[in-house]
Amino acid sequence: MDLTFHPLSLERQSEYKQRLGQCPQISSDYSFVNLWAWREIYGLEWAWTETLIFIRQTKPHLQYWAPIGAWTQQDWSKAWKYLGEQPIVLTRIPSQLAELLMKSLPQQAKIYPAPDHFDYVYDVQELIELRGNRFHKKKNLFNQFTRNYEYTYVPLTSEEVERALTMQTEWCLWRDCEDSTTLEAENRAILNTFADWNRLEGVFGGGLLVDGNMIAYTVAEPLDDKTVVIHFEKACPNHKGAYQAINQIFLTNAASQFTYVNREQDLGDPGLRKAKESYNPVAYIEKYSGILE
């Protein structure tokens, strides 16, 4: 039988998360908040079977993401036949599923690493403490911020989300989002998240106020019992050290119970890659792209 794909719905997010918890490896792409934020930009749709949730991206062209469910319990030679059409273009496939597909479908699976999509994973306590030479520059910038500004940390309640929205509008003006396809798409994803803030399960965040105005914010979500994922993090460019401050202060106040923090991928952007490497990742979640023929 062919599957019928539908738009994502908030009503099934709890059920989705239960299936996601069955995956032996969870990358940032598959958190429900991430799917919901980017659903319009990527044209995301899903189709449900008894054991799997298939996710497809329809913009700018058709690609399939990793199915969600208990990967090790599937007959992959049969599971993909639900999709009907061949070949099947795959993207954002976590390494453990990629290995299963290459092992179970050695003739059909043409799969290769996609480093631009690798998730960066950090030790939460390291980013809170910022000890040693590896974090010397980060610690200096953090200290400059705390010396130069009288700030207040606030959780992102509904009221504070309004301030974050104001800051996001200003940030986009500073960065000329309208002239950047990437920044404009990210801005839409952020606005989608804030618009449904009270309906998204598990989403949380924090902000820094200076003189009553929000000058930095973070949006996060638990990825599993040990890992928190940072979806969005923005800071005003005219407050030196604000990025280092929101990173450290948010983790200290709202996420110290987690062991790891996933700060998503760099998408091949050299500046973003340099920034993510500068925080000294302790691991990467590798992902693969490819074709099933």
Look up the pTM and report it: 0.96
pLDDT for the residue 128: 98
pLDDT for the residue 1: 57
Q: Classify the C-alpha dihedral 38-44-47-52 as positive or negative.
A: negative
List pLDDT tens digits, range 63-110.
999 999 999 999 998 988 888 778 999 999 999 999 999 999 999 999
Domain chopping of the chain, boundaries:
6-117, 119-264
- Determine the Cα–Cα distance for residues 44 and 223; give it in Å rounded to an integer: 20
Distance of CA 55 to the CA centre of its chain: 16
Class of domain 6-117: alpha beta
pLDDT for the residue 64: 97
Sequential DSSP letters for 7-20: E--GGGHHHHHHHH
What phi and psi values does residue 18 have, to the nearest 5 degrees? -65, -45
Contact 37, 192 (CB under 8 A): yes
- Residue 191's Cβ-count burial label (10 Å; 0-12, 13-18, 19+) is middle
Amino acid at 18: Q
Class of domain 119-264: alpha beta
One pLDDT digit (tens) per residue for the chain, 293 residues: 578 999 999 999 999 999 999 999 999 999 999 999 999 999 999 999 999 999 999 999 999 999 999 999 999 989 888 887 789 999 999 999 999 999 999 999 999 999 999 999 999 999 999 999 999 999 999 999 999 999 999 999 999 999 999 999 999 999 999 999 999 999 999 999 999 999 999 999 999 999 999 999 999 999 999 999 999 999 999 999 999 999 999 999 999 999 999 999 999 999 999 999 999 999 999 999 999 99
pLDDT for the residue 81: 84
